[in-house]
Amino acid sequence: MYHVLFVLPSLIHLSSTSFNFANFVRDFVLTFNVVHRRTGGDKVYNVFDNQLPATLKRLQFDRQLSMENIRKLIIEADGYQPHLIAPEQGYRRLIESTLVTIRGPAEAAVDATHSILKDLVHKAMSETPVYSHLCLYCSCTK
């Protein structure tokens, strides 16, 4: 019986802390939904629907995927032996060079999306009364 009396205040404190934490989370989620609805996620869609395709169109895939370049890659990959049917090394080189080419725009799209989402969370935190005191930390992490 003594152990129950000893643990009871801790349990009461823990339950009130859990309740407060649940309220904090609820307030944040409600504020985040309001903030998110205001922007509608249009900025994220814009990154993938407009910015990334426009950047990919500016890349020079025509030169990289020209018949002359493909022929050269395939012949050089497995040596100058025309009897080979499946020049896998040539295919791998072609795919690797294309992936290297699109890596920069893909990383830029990910960075832009990360920045947008981070701004949404900071905005929601600053507008949530419970978390407004944490915005000092938010300004340090921007």
Encode pLDDT of 42-81 as tens digits. 888 888 899 999 998 898 888 878 888 888 877 776 656 6
> Phi then psi for 140, rounded to 5 degrees?
-75, -25
Residues 6+ apart with CB under 8 A from 67: none
Q: Look at residue 112 in the predicted model and tell me its pLDDT.
A: 93
Q: For residue 105, what are the contacts with CB-CB under 8 A and spacing of at least 6?
A: 52, 55, 56, 59
The token pair at 13 is 């404190």
Inform me whether the pLDDT recorded for 142 exceeds 50: no
- Please tell me which residue, 51 or 88, carries the higher pLDDT value: 51
Write down the pTM of the prediction. 0.57
Average pLDDT over residues 101-119: 91
State which of 20-24, 33-37, 65-69 shows the largest mean pLDDT: 65-69
**pLDDT given at position 106:** 92
Does pLDDT of 36 surpass 60? Answer: no
